[in-house]
Chain A
């Protein structure tokens, strides 16, 4: 655990914008170093204010410090950002139970179970609430494995606002936002070997927006709205959240092109809002 903390601290020092603060904060919390965990969570939140997981981490640390009022606000914020965040829903259920509001506790757990019906911890918490026993405070999901991230996120990964924001801030969500010159505005991509290919892909995509626009104009097709492509190992969709920006969404072949276009349309609107906030 101490080694983990040292490694994670070094990774965070090397890249302060990385999402490794989530794992570091949790590792510190589990070790009982709550003040350090609190600092990590607050610093992470300052850099990623729209990331539901960051609010969830902060709430867990606050709960350990018995600051339930603030913890409630943080979990409430996490659910506002990502309504399907089961960690935050379980956290709110725990706090509702603590103040004696069993109905609200059960309602939040029921909602969490609808989102993750296979999660035994939710089933157990519901049984405990119904039996009048306080559910355990929510623990996060198991830490992410160290193996390389997949190049194309899986079919089950829908894109809600928190995922898009996290993806544009560097999490592996198969999103890349570039400007017309091929400069990265947000997002990150990895190939199947785990290598970072963000800059390479961005460079190859530079100029695609202008060429697509010229082609559509030449054909009398009006403004272009999207470009879907089917690859041997995955599918991609390109759209332009603003006239100057290009958003690439990458998914595995389990996500058909039609569905990918719908996902990308939503992601494009979220990316536009993200750009407006960040610039």
Chain B
């Protein structure tokens, strides 16, 4: 699991990565910079992921493959795992991070932990 997280954290501008249980929002594994409250972020990311998944499925666009919360000073990027009720691969990044590259590494990490 740490190898999967390293795929993500080695991208320049990524402040940390986590594997989160989609069902209960608990941290499964993490590599975070100091100061990031992993447990709380995991819980909120899982809750957001659940709401998004239900809304997207109801709207007919299917389950989410990748989502990205943009904010003034950075971003939260998430790839929900391929298995039902599985693992979310989460990255916290600086505002100027290469989003496309982080997305690719998150997808690769999700494949590794599936």
**Chain A residues in the interface with B (C-beta under 8 A):** 151-152, 189-193, 197, 200-201, 204-205, 207-208, 211-212, 214-216, 218-236, 248, 250, 257, 261
B48 to A, closest residue via Cβ: A211
A-B contact pairs, 15 of them (CB 8 A): A190-B60, A201-B59, A215-B48, A216-B71, A216-B76, A220-B73, A221-B74, A222-B73, A223-B72, A225-B70, A225-B71, A228-B67, A229-B64, A230-B65, A248-B59
Q: Which of B35, B60, B67, B72 contacts A221 (CB 8 A)?
A: B72
List which B34-72 residues lie within 8 A (CB) of chain A: 35-37, 40-41, 44-45, 47-48, 51-52, 54-56, 58-72
Contacts of A215 in B (CB 8 A): 41, 44-45, 48, 69, 76
State in angstroms the CA–CA spacing of A250 and B52 once bound together. Answer: 13
20 more CB-based (< 8 A) A-B contacts, given A211-B51, A226-B70, A231-B63: A193-B60, A197-B58, A200-B58, A211-B48, A215-B44, A215-B69, A218-B41, A219-B71, A219-B92, A222-B73, A224-B69, A225-B70, A226-B69, A227-B52, A228-B67, A229-B64, A231-B61, A234-B56, A250-B59, A261-B70
Give Cα A207–Cα B50 distance, bound, in whole angstroms.
Answer: 12
Lowest 7 CB-CB distances: which A-B pairs, in order? A232-B62, A222-B72, A234-B61, A151-B60, A191-B60, A221-B71, A231-B61
CB <8 Å contact, A191 and B69: no
> How far, in Å, is A179 (CB) from chain B's closest CB?
15
Smallest Cβ distance from A195 to chain B, in angstroms? 9
Q: Assuming A211-B44, A232-B61, is B71 touching A222 (CB within 8 A)?
A: yes
* B55 and A205 within 8 A (CB): yes
Q: Are A229 and B67 in contact (CB under 8 A)?
A: yes
A230 and B55: CB pair below 8 A?
no
Report whether B36 and A219 are in contact in the complex, using a CB–CB cutoff of 8 Å: yes
Residues of B within 8 A of A152 (CB): 60-61
**Taking CB as reference atom, which chain A residue is nearest B95?**
A221
Given the known interface contacts A215-B45, A218-B37, the answer about A192 and B51 at a Cβ–Cβ threshold of 8 Å is no
* Nearest CB in chain B to that of A216: its residue: B71
Q: How many angstroms between the C-alpha atoms of A74 and B66 in the bound complex? A: 45
Check B59 against A227 for contact (C-beta < 8 Å).
Answer: no
Residue of B nearest to A190 (CB): B60
Residues of A within 8 A of B63 (CB): 231-232
Question: Is there an interface contact between B65 and A231, defined as CB atoms closer than 8 Å?
Answer: yes
Instruction: Name the residue of chain A whose CB is nearest to the CB of B74.
Output: A221
User: How far apart are A18's CB and chain B's nearest CB, in angstroms?
Assistant: 21
